[in-house]
Amino acid sequence: MRKKRDIILMVFILGFFWAASCLAQEVVDRIVAIVNDDIVTLSQLDMAAAPYRKNIETSQESSARQKELMAQMYTQVLNQLVENSLVVQEAKRMGITVDDTDVDNSVENFKKEHNLNQERLELGLAAQGLTLSQYRERIREQILQSMIVSRAVRAKIVVTDEEINAYYQSHYQEFKDKKKYYLKNIIVRDSTDLSTVLVKLENEVDFSQVAKNYSIGSNASSGGELGEFDISSFSDVIKAALEGVGKGQYTKPIDMGDSFQILYVADIISQSQGPVQKEVEKQIQDILYREHGEIQFNKWMENLKNSAHIKIML
């Protein structure tokens, strides 16, 4: 009889802790936004905000300023998640889907346009702190948004010959001075390792040797070799970091969220002869089409928000 009572008591205790655990999970993963029939949870928000949160936490700002920046950042990230939810809902309503094949084709086209093989693509992504799977998800989102823009706002986008000519005239220098960079990089996990690397580089230790000894990148064994890249394919963060950096020089540390990166310019290949307007008209048209598309998309998104049931509970 006593053994039976002990078993019943144990079951009761386990049941109590299971219920408490479920309750705790429910509290942690509470709803922070309702978007029509969809929800955004706190765990989703935390995951999306994680890279930005780390940047703020490791900044030199005061605790009060960090708290202010954190609140602003969470609001911005939540707004983006709400917009993403609306896009997905509208895509479903319109019967739009993005297959893996669509993503594969887009990646392959990008590789052909920039003369990249798979290895060089992944090295280029590593230079920007991205994994291949993260890059594919970004491509998927871009395709979905592009497909929706095409169906929802294409008729409102008009690119005139006058606009193409004006763009060419105001951006002629960019077309004339195309550059390719031969890059190496060093990636470290934290500020302590970063300090060590910077001391070595400031003491003129060979960049490749420092990369071999301290980089956590997959290309560390080759001295941080990344290869030759057209800078136009890089993110704005990388472009800004390379601004003013000459051959044989390295960038200031680039905060990648969960790591720090230093890029080394091994060589710069300049293509100084500018193309005539006819040769780049299609490229300019695509640029202007994307710019107009973004404006129309923002208007479309605003209308979508106005007609949706959105409740923020952050």
Summarised one tens digit per residue, pLDDT across range 99-138 is: 899 999 999 988 887 778 888 888 888 776 678 888 898 7
Average pLDDT of the chain is 82
Residue 285 inside a domain? The answer is no
Return the structure tokens found at 29.
Answer: 């993963």
Question: Exposure string (b/e) for 135-154, b if CB count within 10 Å is 16 or more?
Answer: bbeebbeebbbebbbeebbe
Lowest-pLDDT range of 15-24, 192-201, 251-260:
15-24
* pTM score, whole prediction: 0.52
Residue 243 inside a domain? The answer is yes
> Which residue range forms the structural domain that includes residue 78?
2-93
**Cα Rg, the chain, nearest whole Å:** 25
Residue 51 inside a domain? The answer is yes
Residue 308 inside a domain? The answer is no
Write down the pLDDT at residue 14: 47
Among 71, 93, 115, give the residue marking a domain's end. Answer: 93
* Interacting residues of 178 by C-beta distance below 8 A, sequence separation 6+: 230, 232, 270, 271
Q: Identify which of 73, 63, 78 has the alpha carbon closest to the alpha carbon of residue 33.
A: 78
Lowest-pLDDT range of 102-111, 141-150, 171-180, 226-235:
171-180
Lowest-pLDDT range of 24-33, 142-151, 212-221, 259-268:
24-33
Lowest-pLDDT range of 86-90, 94-98, 126-130, 275-279:
275-279
Q: Give the total number of structural domains in the chain.
A: 2
Is the pLDDT assigned to residue 243 strictly greater than 50?
yes
Residue 7 inside a domain? The answer is yes
The better pLDDT of the pair 143, 6 is held by: 143
Q: What are phi and psi of 266, to 5 degrees?
A: -75, -30
Write down the pLDDT at residue 123: 84
Residue 216 inside a domain? The answer is yes
Distance, in Å, from the CA atom of 252 to the CA atom of 249, rounded to the nearest integer, reads 10
**C-beta separation of 146 from 136 below 8 A:** no
Is the pLDDT assigned to residue 37 strictly greater than 60?
yes
Calculate mean pLDDT across residues 292-298: 83
Return the structure tokens found at 37.
Answer: 């029939």
CATH classification at residue 199: 3.10.50.40
* Interacting residues of 181 by C-beta distance below 8 A, sequence separation 6+: 228, 229, 231, 242, 265, 267, 268, 269
Q: What is the largest CA-CA distance in the chain?
A: 96
Calculate mean pLDDT across residues 250-273: 84
Tell me which long-range contacts 102-105 makes (C-beta under 8 A, separation of at least 24). Answer: 102/140, 102/143, 103/136, 103/139, 103/140, 103/143
In the chain, the percentage of residues whose pLDDT exceeds 70 is 85
**Banded pLDDT at 8 (limits 50, 70, 90):** very low
- Name residue 165's amino acid: N
Is the pLDDT assigned to residue 207 strictly greater than 80?
yes
- CA-to-CA dists, residue 174 to 3, 19, 59, 169, 203, angstroms: 83, 63, 34, 10, 36
Residue 306 inside a domain? The answer is no
Among 43, 66, 93, give the residue marking a domain's end. Answer: 93
Residue 130 inside a domain? The answer is no
- Name residue 190's amino acid: D
Calculate mean pLDDT across residues 241-266: 90
